[in-house]
Structure 1
Amino acid sequence: MIKRILSTVALWSIIAVTLWFFRTSGALVLIAIISALTLREFFGLMRGAGYAPFTIFGSSFGVLITLSPWIETVIGRPAHILLALSTVVFAVRLLGERTPENRVESLATTIFGIVYVGVLLQYMVRIVVPLPGDTVTPDGRLLLALWLIAVAKFCDVGALLTGLAIGRHKMSPHISPKKTWEGAAGGIITSMGVGALIAWISRDHFPGHMTPLIAALIAAPVAAIGIVADLVESVIKRRANMKDSGRSIPGIGGMFDLSDSLLLAAPVGYFFFGLP
């Protein structure tokens, strides 16, 4: 627990310092790093499950797809073609580098990783990248991203503490034996409180509709989908017979263990923020 607390403090410090000094550019670098490390660990889990994904190509295209909203603002052209292009590359590549019985699995696991990590995480980029004629300031967008991260991750904290205190009814014992319905409820309530608090503190930068009350209401589905994302990762880890996705973060595990809830929470948050 001590290692987990220290790692959490260190990670939040890194995020705060990076955003304070480098603003949007720093956020993009952090998201790219999260995408790259999450993809690497995802493909590692797939290998542990007996599959053979194209790790290097998959990770490269995955990071580019994550950053595609920013790439569009730089080159002035739609970057969604990257997903189709990656499929073409993998379809050609698998013909000569995998045994016949593994070819379909190689393509499927690689594309799934790109979509599940790269495509979903790009909504974090869509949140932080300013657009022409924007009604939200660049700092406001960064604060929205921080709101999303805090809501998703404090759900984990609330769920853990509530589950330890009063958890009785197992949520999904065959997937994640320690998760309880009481813990999930405590996590969602915690997220609602955190979401309302951040909205109140950031009221001068948030969109007009993001009042503390609305922020609390939005936090509920964001936190709930984060719990679902955590269960999805548990399914993947069980298939690979691994407890954690990695060991890069003491007390937490790997980057996938840290970013799992953000993958599904990012598009949900983006939708409710009402950003262009």
Structure 2
Amino acid sequence: MIIRTLSTIILWGAMGGVVYSLKEVGAMWILNLCATLTLFEIYTILGRLGYAANRMSGLITGGCMIPIAFHFPGSGIDVLAIGALLTSGACVLFPQAQRGMYVKRLMPTFFGLLYVTFLLHYFVRIIQVSDVESTSQTLGFGLFFSLWVVVVAKFSDIGALLVGKAIGRTKMAPSISPGKTVEGLIGGLAASSGLGALLPWLAINHFPNLVDFGTWSFSTGQGAVWGLLIAVAAVIGDLIASVLKRLA
């Protein structure tokens, strides 16, 4: 537990330093790194399940999607389409004996791209949702909101872990993730909702020069509601990941 806590603090501190120094560009590259590593893990799990992917072409396509979507807004889906076209068309380059195996690997390849990189590339749209960019002194609203989403989703897991260890009794999904409890789930939802409301309240009332909201407004009530919804989505995503890991 201590090692996990220390590693989490160090990792988050390093990522925070990159974002603080490079602002939106740093956040984009951290997102791209996380997406690529997650895609690699998904391909590894699918391979253990007997659904091997064309890993190299998938990782190249995924690694290009987020940077291109950042520098050319709205182009993420175009990268996915071009990658799918080139990956599918590459089957003609293989001998007849290997072509069937290559084609069978296309669906796992596209599943990983859609489930990981394509969904995560919407963070780029969140970063660019506002015309106000970050400066050396302030965070643009888009970058603040994207960081808010990440922190709220993470605290769903932290809250569930702490409450579950303290008072968890009722198993939530024993066949999928035996360690998860209903009490932990409620604690995680409450933590995300509370933190979701706290962060905009602090930014508006105590650190008014930290975030440039521009024409956007973000109230504590909105933070609480959206924090709760994000926590629910995070739990569902965590359960899906648990299913894949248990099957592997």
SS in 2 for 1:171: strand
Q: Deviations over 1:199-226 (max 9, x none)?
A: 1122243464311121011100101100
CA contact (8 A) 1:51 1:102 kept: no
Q: Which runs of no fewer than 5 residues in structure 2 stay unpaired?
A: none
Taking the aligned partners of 1:190 and 1:78, their CA distance within structure 2 comes to: 35
Decide whether the 8 Å contact of 1:68 with 1:80 is kept in 2.
Answer: no
Q: Which of 140-149 and 98-107 deviates more?
A: 98-107
Aligned structure 1 segments of 4 or more residues deviating by more than 6 angstroms: none
Instruction: Give the counterpart letter for 2:144 in structure 1.
Output: L
| 2:16 paired with 1:19 | no
For the 8 Å contact 1:94–1:107, the answer to whether it is kept is: no
Equivalent residue number for residue 82 of structure 2: 85
Q: Which runs of 5+ in 1 are unaligned?
A: 241-276
CA contact (8 A) 1:196 1:216 kept: yes
Change (3 A) 1:169 1:101: farther
Deviations 1:214-252 (A, max 9, x none): 101110010110010001111111222xxxxxxxxxxxx
Q: Deviations over 1:37-83 (max 9, x none)?
A: 1111111111122222111110110122233431314xxx8452211
| Partner amino acid, structure 1, of 2:245 | K
Structure 1 residue 156, shift from structure 2 partner: 0.5
Return the letter of the residue paired with 2:29.
Answer: V
Higher relative contact order structure (alpha carbons within 8 Å, sequence separation ≥ 6): 1
d(CA) in 2 for partners of 1:122, 1:14: 22
Partner of 1:123: 122
Residues 93/238 of structure 1: CA separation in 2 closer, same or farther (3 Å cut): farther
Q: Which amino acid aligns with 2:188?
A: G
Secondary structure, aligned partner of 1:117: helix
C-alpha displacement of 1:123: 1.2
Identity %: 35
State which of 207, 221, 242 in structure 2 corresponds to 1:213.
Answer: 221
1:104 to partner: Cα distance: 4.9
For 1:102 and 1:162, how far apart are their aligned partners in 2? 47
* 2:41 partner SS: helix
For the pair shown, the structure with the greater C-alpha radius of gyration is: 2
Which residue of structure 2 lines up, in the alignment, with residue 148 of structure 1?
149
1:105 to partner: Cα distance: 3.9
Q: Does 1:167 align with 2:168?
A: yes
Quote the residue 1:252 is aligned against.
none
1:232 is aligned to 2:220:
no
Deviation at 1:168?
2.1
Q: Which moved more, 1:160-169 or 1:90-99?
A: 90-99
Quick one: distance in 1 between partners of 2:45 and 2:148?
29
Query: In the TM superposition, what are the counterparts of 1:175-194 in structure 2 within 5 Å?
Result: 175-194=176-195
Q: Distance in 2 between matches of 1:23 and 1:93?
A: 38
How many pairs are equivalent? 234
Amino acid at match of 1:228: I
Coordinate RMSD, CA, aligned:
2.1
Cα distance in 1 between the residues matched to 2:66 and 2:221: 31
Q: TM-score, normalised by structure 2?
A: 0.86
State the 1:106 CA deviation.
0.8
Q: Which amino acid aligns with 1:21?
A: S
Q: Deviations over 1:90-125 (max 9, x none)?
A: 222345378566445411110010011111110111
For normalisation by structure 1, the TM-score amounts to 0.78
Q: 2-side partners of 1:185 and 1:21: how far apart?
A: 36
**Is the 8 Å Cα contact of residues 198 and 220 (structure 2) preserved in structure 1?**
yes
